[in-house]
Amino acid sequence: MARFVAKNLVHRGLGKRVLVSVSYAIGKAEPLMIYAINENDEDLSDYTKKHFDFRPLSIIEKLNLLRPIYRETAAYGHFGRNGFPWEEVE
């Protein structure tokens, strides 16, 4: 989800490079922390929290993670390849 969000923030023109960090606690649906910055150290955290849902069930639904695609990710990695939901931009 962090990669999906970072790609979408870049696509929306909020930076040329974006770092997204998320931390969770066991048993809590809401993340403890969502942090996003661009290459100029501009804080995009509030924008990210407002426009993206990082709750586990929302991530599963957004990226359609119950679909059996994981065999395809076992070879050649799963970042930077077309056809995976986390590589799409909206």
Per-10-residue mean pLDDT of the chain, 90 residues long, equals 96 97 96 98 98 96 84 71 81
**Which residue segments constitute the domains of the chain, with CATH numbers given?**
2-79 (3.30.300.10)
Decide: 2 and 44 in contact? Cβ < 8 Å.
no
Prediction pTM value:
0.83
The pLDDT of residue 82:
75
- Specify whether the CB–CB gap between 36 and 23 falls below 8 A: no
